[in-house]
Amino acid sequence: MTVRKNLCMRAYGKINLTLDILGRMENGYHEVEMIMQQVSLYDSVQISEKTDGPAEISSNCPWLPSDGRNLAYKAAEAFARATGYDVPVKIRIGKYIPVASGLAGGSSDAAAVLRGLNILTKAGLSTEELCKIGRDIGSDVPFCITGGTALATGRGDELRPLPPMPDCRILLAKPRLSVSTPAAYAEFDRAKNITHPDTASCIQALEHGDLAALAAGMHNVFEDSSPIPEVEKLKQIMKEHGALCANMSGSGPTVFGIFTDESAVLKARAACRACAPFVFYCRPAARRRGG
Ligand code: C5P
């Protein structure tokens, strides 16, 4: 009897504690400076060997593409190209991170496929080698491979690990709309009156384990260039319910609020549910052991 191998990976989402855009690079991408934080909300990514054929993707989400438009599929192809380990696999994604929400769900699924195939095939790639494959799939994929708390620069794929975010409660709320990342960058190029985050003071706050100072310095420039009324409303609700701060993640539209008080976050969650279809309460996730 043939024993087929399979394994199940957790693909954690991320939030941007700060997001700054410093300019445009020669390759057309924007030069960013962002403090990224992995959170405990995750998709499950099950990878099973099959006998032959191209990668097969399925999920619990009817509108998720199962072909080359899916970043998990791209990751399986990129891994085979880069390593020569072309193992036929079925990939089953349990999608719990909302799609196109600014939480890097698709990038994290791709990162989980790269890490999973590295284990399954015993290819023995280092974290740096996996990140090198990942950056061609998407700018956020390297961070999703390393996780924890990090400063991302360049196009978002150059990473410096930072001290972990102090433990807290993080409320996520995604309004009923989608944002195109390229369109958000294009709007930024046309925008005036941008307030830039004080990234250095946020890094210092992380070094001192000072959650209040960290929260005080957080900002996302996309909130200035592409203001979204639903985002403003959710931010206001979270602040009224005791959030230390409330900001948009990535190019949006998910809002995250930072709380220290359990009863406050539960009340804020109930209030956000009145106007957002996806509301979830989670915590910061630690950097993965071994990289
Ligand atoms: O790298 P990723 O595929 O996630 O980027 C999606 C799009 O977002 C890019 O094609 C580009 O238009 C824009 N982008 C950018 N600068 C970055 C990251 C993304 O202009 N640093």
Per-residue confidence (pLDDT) for residue 19, from 0 to 100:
98
Per-residue confidence (pLDDT) for residue 291, from 0 to 100:
41
Looking from the CA of residue 154, the nearest atom of ligand 1 is 21
Per-residue pLDDT of the chain (291 residues; tens, 9 = 90+): 455 689 999 999 999 999 999 999 999 999 999 999 999 999 999 999 999 888 899 999 988 998 989 999 999 999 999 999 988 999 999 999 999 999 999 999 999 999 999 999 999 999 999 999 999 999 999 999 999 999 999 999 999 999 999 999 999 999 999 999 999 999 999 999 999 999 999 999 999 999 999 999 999 999 999 999 999 999 999 999 999 999 999 999 999 999 999 999 999 999 999 999 999 999 999 887 644
Bridge partner list, 35: 18, 151
- 250 C-beta closer than 6 A to ligand 1: no
| Number of neighbouring beta carbons within 10 Å of residue 108 | 31
Per-residue confidence (pLDDT) for residue 220, from 0 to 100:
98
Looking from the CA of residue 139, the nearest atom of ligand 1 is 1
To the query of whether residue 14 is one of the catalytic residues in this protein, the response is yes
Per-residue confidence (pLDDT) for residue 223, from 0 to 100:
98
- Phi/psi region, residue 86 (left: phi>0; alpha: psi -120 to 50; beta: rest), is beta
**Angle of CA points 14, 15, 17, to nearest 5°:** 140
Distance CA 49, CA 89 (A): 4
Q: Which helix (H) or strand (E) holds 232?
A: helix 229-240
Q: Which structure tokens are listed for 249?
A: 């993640």
Question: Backbone phi, then psi, for 83, in 5-degree steps?
Answer: -110, -20
Q: Pairing between strand 169-174 and 89-94? A: unpaired
The alpha carbon of 29 and the centre of ligand 1 are apart by a number of angstroms equal to: 6
Question: Backbone phi, then psi, for 177, in 5-degree steps?
Answer: -160, 160
To the query of whether residue 140 is one of the catalytic residues in this protein, the response is yes
- 29 C-beta closer than 6 A to ligand 1: yes
Per-residue confidence (pLDDT) for residue 122, from 0 to 100:
93
* Cα–Cα separations (whole angstroms), residue 277 to 97, 133, 150, 173, 251: 13, 34, 29, 8, 18
Bridge partner list, 204: none
Per-residue confidence (pLDDT) for residue 287, from 0 to 100:
83
| Number of neighbouring beta carbons within 10 Å of residue 138 | 22
- 187 C-beta closer than 6 A to ligand 1: no
Per-residue confidence (pLDDT) for residue 130, from 0 to 100:
98
Three-class DSSP category at 216: helix
- 185 C-beta closer than 6 A to ligand 1: yes
The alpha carbon of 281 and the centre of ligand 1 are apart by a number of angstroms equal to: 28
Q: Pairing between strand 158-161 and 149-153? A: antiparallel
Radius of gyration of the chain (CA): 19
- 199 C-beta closer than 6 A to ligand 1: no
